[in-house]
Structure 1
Amino acid sequence: MTDYSIMRELSFSIRDEFTRKPIAEKIIKLLDSDIDVSPMIIDGKWGTGKTEFCFKLKNLIEENNPNDYKVGYVNAFQADHANEPLLTLIAEVASFYDEKDDKRKDFIKNAVPYLRLISGIGLKAGLGFAFGRYAADIPDALADGMEEIKDGSKSLIDQSLESMIKDQVEAEKNLSTLKEALKKIASTTPVILLIDELDRCRPDFAVMMLETIKHVFDVKNVQIILITNAEQLKATIKHSYGSETDSHSYLYKFFKYQINLPTTIKDVEGRSIENNVTYFKVTVQASRVIPQDFKDNEFIYDISKFVKIAHLSLRKVEQVVRCIETLIIFEDNSKSKNPEVEQLLIVFLSFAYIANKNLFEQIRDRNIQVTDILKFSSSSEEIYLPNDQSILENFPTKFFILLILHGLSKDDFIHTTTYDGNMDYHISRLVEHILKDFDFIQESNSTYHIVNSSYIYKYIDHTINNLLLFDIVK
């Protein structure tokens, strides 16, 4: 579960493992420019760190704020039970000012007629959520919904049919009054509203929020940024309006800009690295459970680079690390034969457990399908020694894992080929080299695989049993 109290304090100076500060700076340049960029979408898949980026962006805007922006954050998912998106947004704007500030009083007073019109009797339920933080504005209305707000404003809950008809007739007037109030309050202090988690909301509420943004908040000096999963939002629109709806066209009639959060970063050599690979190392390093010698084993980080985890969200990567931490807690270090090798197996099996349950079960049953292990390890074809020795030289961790799993497969996928010279000696040197890299003593004279009697396979069974002991990913 996201800890918003921690999130609110985050800044790019604290951590920026995905190098996203330049993106935030470009967004701020757009907001500062004369280009009409609002409403704007910041698009990212689930689990890509959108909420964290949102708070970092908010804090960066406020850190250097020559335009005196008032920056608000709205968690749409927390608000959708109240079913009043406009009330939620109005309450956030009101929160910018002290309860005794005349701007606040006037703004709420001008918002009330339109709020009553669009909300009707349902407004009473929404008040507790939206204005709960600002009880000084409407202290008694939360109790019975029939008291006045400040200087004799009309009742927030008016069940009179006559009054509702009158409000309907004056709808456009009330909307204009509200927009003028927004325009007035933003004329001296421009407003930026960051709306997060809309992709997790009920479809009807999400659509209501979009319509509210379009019809009410299209006001000068009020800029709206939606931080969301655009594809999920399109699915929400289809759910509300039918599968035949052109959800793409519908969605983008609301927005002028879309910023896409990258899922990769460049390393020092210019190669693309998936964010979840970077996040894995960061999360392991930050763990208070994983011992330092485990963290210092550079081979464990290679595993996240070659196993198929591109589809994993950052939350799933956290679950992988939680598996690793749990296995470490369960370990009896006095029985360890080779910590470095055992650490590799802990990491690999944790990734398999979270990312590929089918392969994990195959390893458990000692019945690995060659195509599955090669696919999961990003290997396009079988390995032929000694001709394919480059895999050993360039990807020693990958080769070692494949060498171990080779013994659990019914079919050979590490083969020997004809070689001019002493073939057995050459292969033996390859294997000796890889085993030496991992400080592992081979337990037989086999030249191209680890024998089935090796303690490694007993250790794999032990680790799998520990992973299956609890449903530790929930």
Structure 2
Amino acid sequence: MTDYNLMKDFTFDERDEFTRKPIAEKIIKLLDSAIDVSPLIIDGKWGTGKTEFCFKLKNLIEADNTNDYKVGYVNAFQADHANEPLLTLIAEVASFYDEKDDKRKNFIKNAVPYLRLISGIGLKAGLGFAFGRYAADIPDALADGMEEIKDGSKSLIDQSLESMIKDQAEAEKNLSTLRDALSDIAYTNPIILLIDELDRCRPDFAVAMLETIKHVFDVENVQIILVTNADQLKATIKHSYGNETDSNSYLYKFFKYQINLPTTSKGAENQAIDNNDTYFRKVVQDSKVIPHTLKDNQFIYEIPKFLDLGELSLRNIEQVVRCIETLIVFEDKDKSKSPIAEEIFMVFLSFVYMMDKELLNQIVTRHINSTKFSNFTNSSRLDISHPHSRSDILNDLSVKHLFLFVFDGYFINSFLDLPSSTIERQTMQRHIKISLGKYDYVSDIHNDEYIKQVINNLLLFDIIK
């Protein structure tokens, strides 16, 4: 579970493993500019660190606050039980000031009439009442009038419609007063509201929040930043309005800008590094369970580089590391014969467990589909039947190749093209054994037993929960 209290003080200077500070700085430049960028979406998939980025952005704005911004944070998911998004947003704005401050008092004074009006029966329920529906929602004082409607009397219908027209006029007047009060309070101190976790809210609350942002908070010097998963929010809109709804058009009628949180960052040599790869190394290094020998085993950090981690979230990476930690707790160190290779197998099988249960079962039954394995590891057949090819591969045997050799006996069809000659094949097997030596490789029998033990331990508990 996300620890918001822990995150609220995070800064980019404290840690920025995904190199996102430049993105935050560009967002601040947009907010400071004369360009009308609000409301703005910061889009990212679930588990990509949006909330942490949100707090870091807030703290960065406040750290060099030359425009005297009042910066608020709203966790929409925590607020949706109240079922009133406007009240949530108004409360956040009011919290900028001391209870005795005249700005706060005047703002609340102007907000209360509109809040009271929209939280009553309201226009939709009034229409329902006028035409005989929503009877359960009608106050007792009006219950007797229902009989007049049933008797065909038009007088109460006329009165109800007249009352609704007055209510609507009053609502528009109060809304205008509230917007003026909001604009007035933001004149001296421009407001930035960061709204987080809307993609996790109930569909009706999420849509109500969007409508509130559009109709109430679209005023000068008030800027809204929505930190969310845009695709999930579009699905929420479809849930509310039906699958035929053009959710993309509906959503973007509210917003002027979208910033996409990248899933890669630049490495030392300016190459793109997947954030999951970076985060895996960090979580391993931060673990209080994983020993230093495994943390220092650089071979394990090659594994995420050739797996397709695009569908995994940062939380999934944490779960992979939890698998590794659990295996370490279960491990019988007295039976260890090749620590380096065992650590590599442990990490690889933890990723398999997290990403592809079908492949894990194939490993258990020693009946692996070669195509499935090659797709999972992004590898291809190894042709070591000719001297020039075997020399290149065996002299620089990668971790990816290691798994092809280790699991070759498990494949339905061999993944290795070996020499046809028996003598050449025996020579090749000796070369393979020498090449595997850098991984402290002992024997196929030991590795088979170790792999079986790891999988049994992985399947013993539902570790990822």
Q: Shared topology, TM-score over 0.5?
A: yes
Query: Does structure 2 retain, via aligned residues, the 8 Å contact 1:117–1:168?
Result: no
How far apart in 2 are the matches of 1:321 and 1:291? Answer: 13
SS of alignment partner, residue 170 of structure 1: helix
Kindly provide the amino acid, as one letter, of the partner of residue 334 in structure 1.
D
Larger mean Cα displacement after TM superposition, 4-13 or 268-277: 268-277
1:270: Cα distance to partner?
Answer: 3.0
For the pair 1:42 / 2:42, whether they are aligned, the reply is: yes
CA pair 320-391 structure 1, distance change in 2 beyond 3 A: farther
SS of alignment partner, residue 187 of structure 1: helix
Aligned to 1:384: 383
CA pair 101-389 structure 1, distance change in 2 beyond 3 A: farther
How far apart in 1 are the matches of 2:459 and 2:434? Answer: 34
How far apart in 1 are the matches of 2:19 and 2:430? Answer: 42
Query: Does structure 2 retain, via aligned residues, the 8 Å contact 1:382–1:414?
Result: yes
Aligned to 2:153: none
Aligned to 2:225: 225
Kindly provide the amino acid, as one letter, of the partner of residue 457 in structure 2.
N
1:332: Cα distance to partner?
Answer: 1.7
SS of alignment partner, residue 193 of structure 2: strand
Q: List aligned pairs for 1:297-336, cutoff 5 A.
A: 297-336=297-336
CA pair 318-464 structure 1, distance change in 2 beyond 3 A: same
1:328: Cα distance to partner?
Answer: 0.5
1:347: Cα distance to partner?
Answer: 0.2
CA pair 389-182 structure 1, distance change in 2 beyond 3 A: farther
Query: Does structure 2 retain, via aligned residues, the 8 Å contact 1:192–1:223?
Result: yes
How far apart in 2 are the matches of 1:391 and 1:194? Answer: 52
For the pair 1:26 / 2:10, whether they are aligned, the reply is: no
For the pair 1:470 / 2:456, whether they are aligned, the reply is: no
* Aligned partner of 1:398 among 392, 397, 400: 400
Q: Deviations over 1:367-392 (max 9, x none)?
A: 1111111111101x311115265455
Q: Deviations over 1:134-171 (max 9, x none)?
A: xxxxxxxxxxxxxxxxxxxxxxxxxxx99988543311
Q: Percent identity?
A: 66
How far apart in 1 are the matches of 2:292 and 2:344? Answer: 15
Query: Does structure 1 retain, via aligned residues, the 8 Å contact 2:339–2:440?
Result: no
How far apart in 2 are the matches of 1:360 and 1:424? Answer: 30
Kindly provide the amino acid, as one letter, of the partner of residue 431 in structure 1.
I
Aligned to 1:435: 436
Kindly provide the amino acid, as one letter, of the partner of residue 448 in structure 2.
Y
Larger mean Cα displacement after TM superposition, 428-437 or 297-306: 428-437
1:121: Cα distance to partner?
Answer: 6.8
How far apart in 2 are the matches of 1:392 and 1:191? Answer: 62
How far apart in 2 are the matches of 1:296 and 1:54? Answer: 32
For the pair 1:455 / 2:446, whether they are aligned, the reply is: yes
Q: List aligned pairs for 1:178-217, cutoff 5 A.
A: 178-217=178-217
1:308: Cα distance to partner?
Answer: 2.4
TM-score of the two chains, using structure 1 as the length reference:
0.86
CA pair 371-471 structure 1, distance change in 2 beyond 3 A: same
TM-score of the two chains, using structure 2 as the length reference:
0.87
Kindly provide the amino acid, as one letter, of the partner of residue 411 in structure 2.
S
How far apart in 2 are the matches of 1:399 and 1:78? Answer: 48
How far apart in 1 are the matches of 2:69 and 2:228? Answer: 22
Kindly provide the amino acid, as one letter, of the partner of residue 369 in structure 2.
Q
How far apart in 2 are the matches of 1:425 and 1:240? Answer: 67
CA pair 113-96 structure 1, distance change in 2 beyond 3 A: same
1:178: Cα distance to partner?
Answer: 0.4
1:415: Cα distance to partner?
Answer: 1.7
Query: Does structure 2 retain, via aligned residues, the 8 Å contact 1:382–1:413?
Result: yes
Aligned to 2:339: 339
SS of alignment partner, residue 407 of structure 2: helix
How far apart in 1 are the matches of 2:86 and 2:69? Answer: 21
How far apart in 2 are the matches of 1:27 and 1:188? Answer: 22
1:41: Cα distance to partner?
Answer: 0.3
How far apart in 2 are the matches of 1:73 and 1:34? Answer: 23
Larger mean Cα displacement after TM superposition, 399-408 or 62-71: 399-408
Kindly provide the amino acid, as one letter, of the partner of residue 439 in structure 1.
D
How far apart in 1 are the matches of 2:99 and 2:344? Answer: 58
- Structure having the higher Rg: 2
How far apart in 2 are the matches of 1:107 and 1:413? Answer: 72
Q: Which has the higher helix share?
A: 2
Gaps of 5+ in 2: 123-159
SS of alignment partner, residue 35 of structure 2: coil
Q: List aligned pairs for 1:46-445, cutoff 5 A.
A: 46-120=46-120, 167-379=167-379, 381-386=380-385, 387=389, 390-393=392-395, 396-417=398-419, 423-424=424-425, 427-428=428-429, 430-441=431-442, 443=443
Query: Does structure 2 retain, via aligned residues, the 8 Å contact 1:11–1:56?
Result: yes
How far apart in 2 are the matches of 1:71 and 1:391? Answer: 57
SS of alignment partner, residue 299 of structure 1: helix
Relative contact order, higher structure (CA 8 A, sep 6+):
2
CA pair 395-27 structure 1, distance change in 2 beyond 3 A: farther
Q: Deviations over 1:341-371 (max 9, x none)?
A: 1111110010000011110111112111111
1:335: Cα distance to partner?
Answer: 1.7
SS of alignment partner, residue 119 of structure 2: helix
CA pair 169-405 structure 1, distance change in 2 beyond 3 A: same
1:393: Cα distance to partner?
Answer: 4.9
Kindly provide the amino acid, as one letter, of the partner of residue 466 in structure 1.
N
How far apart in 1 are the matches of 2:112 and 2:165? Answer: 16
How far apart in 1 are the matches of 2:197 and 2:394? Answer: 45
1:100: Cα distance to partner?
Answer: 1.2
How far apart in 2 are the matches of 1:21 and 1:188? Answer: 28
